[in-house]
Structure 1
Amino acid sequence: MRRLLALALVAATPAAAVLPEPPGDPLAGEGVRLLEGGRYEFGLPLLEAALARLPGDPDILVYIAFAHRRSDRTEAALAAYAQALATDPGHPGALAYQGSLFLELGRRADAEANLARLTTACPICAERETLARAIAAAVESRSP
């Protein structure tokens, strides 16, 4: 199931990175299962409850950001990514997904800054490679 989600995410977004493994918290795990099924409005409250018990957990925050992003709540997604990165500045998923969202918002310089941070945090990882390809595609699509 996680592999299918990862493949769907790659197809659905310009810089989709592999989401982190579901946290060990049972509420978070159920919230993640709901997100995987596209039921963001049901998964989000469970993830928020899990976050209340595990404040600042960057993996849970990435899932919360993902749910907001898929529900067209860009500002809430950006805030959750920022919160995840405040806890773990080198979190590969948060950097890649935030970078992807930056590209969608036309903020290429911010996406490139995330790529630089990813290169430092994990020079050889799927998240860095995916964001690098998305940035290259964005640059290429804007070339005359």
Structure 2
Amino acid sequence: MRAPGLALLLALLAAPAAAVLPEPPGDPETAEAVRLLEGGREAMSLPLLQAVLARNPEDPDVLVYIALAQRRLGRPELAMDAYLRALAASPNHPAALAYQGSLYLEMGDRWRAEANYLQLTFSCGTCAEATTLARELAAAPR
């Protein structure tokens, strides 16, 4: 079931989607891992991210970075596991909801992607993550 106006909102927001990553904290190891991830060096970022996660178990931002790296490396199951862990730690984490929604779209599960979008709009309104996922939903085949 769709929320009233969802189709209109999605149509209005139709444009190329841009990645919205959480801001890296001041931790130098995390910052380096994010730099590698943003530079397309996902395989090199994972060991650093795993080390940061070992120090900060269940940190939702680090789990989102790990999920994104796994997804880019073609490991959607491992990415989904990391998104689920991030959302268990922080149920309304905007980046986790948006990226998990994108992964649902890639997997052909539009209903769950739309559910993530609705949760985003209820928790953060028109934040960048909600806008990004709305654009992806508008561009995705029905």
CA distance in structure 2 between the partners assigned to 1:17 and 1:85 by the alignment: 18
1:60 partner letter: V
Flag the structure with higher helix content: 1
Q: What are the superposed Cα offsets for residues 51-72 of structure 1, whole Å, 9 maximum, x if unpaired? A: 0001111111100000000000
Query: By how many angstroms is 1:23 displaced?
Result: 2.3
* Greater Cα offset, 79-88 or 128-137: 128-137
Aligned partner of 2:112: which letter?
A: D
Would you say the 8 A contact 1:16–1:100 is kept in 2? no
How much has 1:27 moved relative to structure 2?
1.4
Structure 2's unaligned 5+ residue stretches are 1-15
RCO higher in 1 or 2 (8 Å CA, sep ≥ 6)?
A: 2
Amino acid of the structure 2 residue aligned with 1:113? A
Partner residue in 1 for 2:9? none
Show the 5 A alignment for 1:1-144: 16-138=18-140, 141-142=141-142
The count of residues paired between Structure 1 and Structure 2 equals 127
Percent identity for Structure 1 against Structure 2: 65
Structure 1 window deviating more from structure 2 (96-105 vs 18-27): it is 18-27
One-letter amino acid matched to 1:57: D
Q: Given the two structures, how large is their TM-score scaled by the length of structure 1?
A: 0.83
State the distance in 2 between where 1:65 and 1:57 align. 12
Structure 1 gaps of 5+ residues are: 1-13
4+ residue runs over 3 A deviation: 14-17
Q: Report the Cα distance in structure 1 between the residues aligned to 2:48 and 2:136, rounded to whole angstroms.
A: 31
Q: What is the aligned-residue RMSD (CA, Å)? A: 1.3
Of residues 18-27 and 62-71 in structure 1, the stretch that sits farther from structure 2 once superposed is: 18-27
